[in-house]
Amino acid sequence: MASEQEVAAVGKILVNPKQDLTTRFRALFTLRNVGGPEAIEWISQTFVDDSALLKHELAYCLGQMQDERAIPTLETVLKDTTQEPMVRHEAGEALGAIGNLEVLDILKEYSEDPVIEVAETCQLAVRRLEWLTSGGDQNGEEGTDGNPYCSVDPAPPAQRKTVPELRTQLLDESLPLFERYRAMFALRNLGTEEAVLALGDGLQCSSALFRHEIGYVLGQIQHPASIPQLQAALELDGENAMVRHECAEALGSIGKEECMKILERYRKDTERVVKESCEVALDMLEYENGTQFQYADGLLRLQGEQ
Ligand SMILES: [Fe+2]
Ligand SMILES: [Fe+2]
């Protein structure tokens, strides 16, 4: 257990814009693992930062922690139109992830937001909460494959089907996004090369939110078969920065030599979230390939300084 002083010491690193972004990310993941009201408070205070990448990760972590004490902060961020769409999106998704029905009204309201990524996120979150109310998560749904990644997802997996059937559901733009996400997570849970390639085809779909989520799940699966499609999306001129960011991070989590080379090339990208994603991804790889024992090492680093 971390003491309040230790949490505060890590929190001060997170809020400090003079610290390296990579160090701040490590501090964030430490706070996420520690949890509790003080950790939530430090994370909440950091939404004044000017890195959209960091702020979207704050919201993501608050959602994954599934602590209702984060709801007021997440609502404020969702409502704040001066926050970048990617940050507001992640706040909306996090409100859905926490699973408390009291946020249903605000999510319905922002389902009409003029920023399409925000609107689509809130529509999905409403569907997730409705699914929870209908008892959808009781003992997992029958006939679905479980999530091996321990993430709280914006939609449950679809019923088990063949990969071609799931691929059709994934790519059918006439279906509600929620149904397509269900196919996405079912394919992810399968995790075979065939499933990975079907997911990669989703990078051609019209919704940027959908494409970014494809990048996210490909990063979870870490299958090298997805490298060419991820690379193509990262390199695509005019692709939405949120999508490029997610593809860069996915390449980082796959972590092969060729992925590192690609990330090195985009480390100086003119799009700030892409550039920062490459920096953070390369830092994580350094950890994976190196001798550092723990990535979320904010507490260890403190001890080293004492
Ligand atoms: Fe996201
Ligand atoms: Fe992201």
Four-residue CA torsion sign, 273, 275, 278, 280: negative
- Determine the distance from the C-alpha atom of residue 167 to the mean position of all C-alpha atoms in its chain, rounded to a whole number: 22
CA proximity to 178, closest of 132, 135, 223, 145: 132
90 is in an annotated binding site: yes
Q: Cα of 206 to ligand 2 centre, how many Å?
A: 18
Q: What percent of the chain has pLDDT over 90?
A: 85
Quick one: which ligand is closest to 93's CA?
Answer: 1
What's the pLDDT at 305? 57
Average pLDDT, the chain: 93
The answer to whether 223 is a known ligand-binding residue is: no
Q: How many C-beta atoms surround the C-beta of residue 9 within 10 A?
A: 18
Question: Ligand 2 mean position to 246 CA, how many Å?
Answer: 5
- The least confident of 69-83, 194-208, 279-293 is 279-293
**Which uninterrupted H or E stretch holds 213?**
helix 208-221
Which residue bears the tokens 């990579």?
Answer: 22
Ligand 2 mean position to 245 CA, how many Å?
A: 7
- C-alpha closest to that of 59 among 185, 154, 187, 123: 154
Please indicate if the annotation marks 212 as binding a ligand: yes
Q: With bands split at pLDDT 50, 70 and 90, how would you rate the model's confidence at 295?
A: low
Query: What pLDDT is stored for residue 135 in this prediction?
Result: 83
- Quick one: residue 189, left, alpha or beta (phi over 0 = left, psi -120 to 50 = alpha)? alpha
Ligand 2 centroid from CA 235, angstroms? 17
Q: Are 33 and 44 in contact (CB under 8 A)?
A: no
* C-alpha 153 to ligand 2 mean position (Å): 13
Which pLDDT value is given to residue 306?
47
Domains and their CATH numbers in the chain: 1-139 (1.25.10.10), 143-290 (1.25.10.10)
H helices present in 222-297, as ranges: 227-235, 241-254, 257-266, 272-289
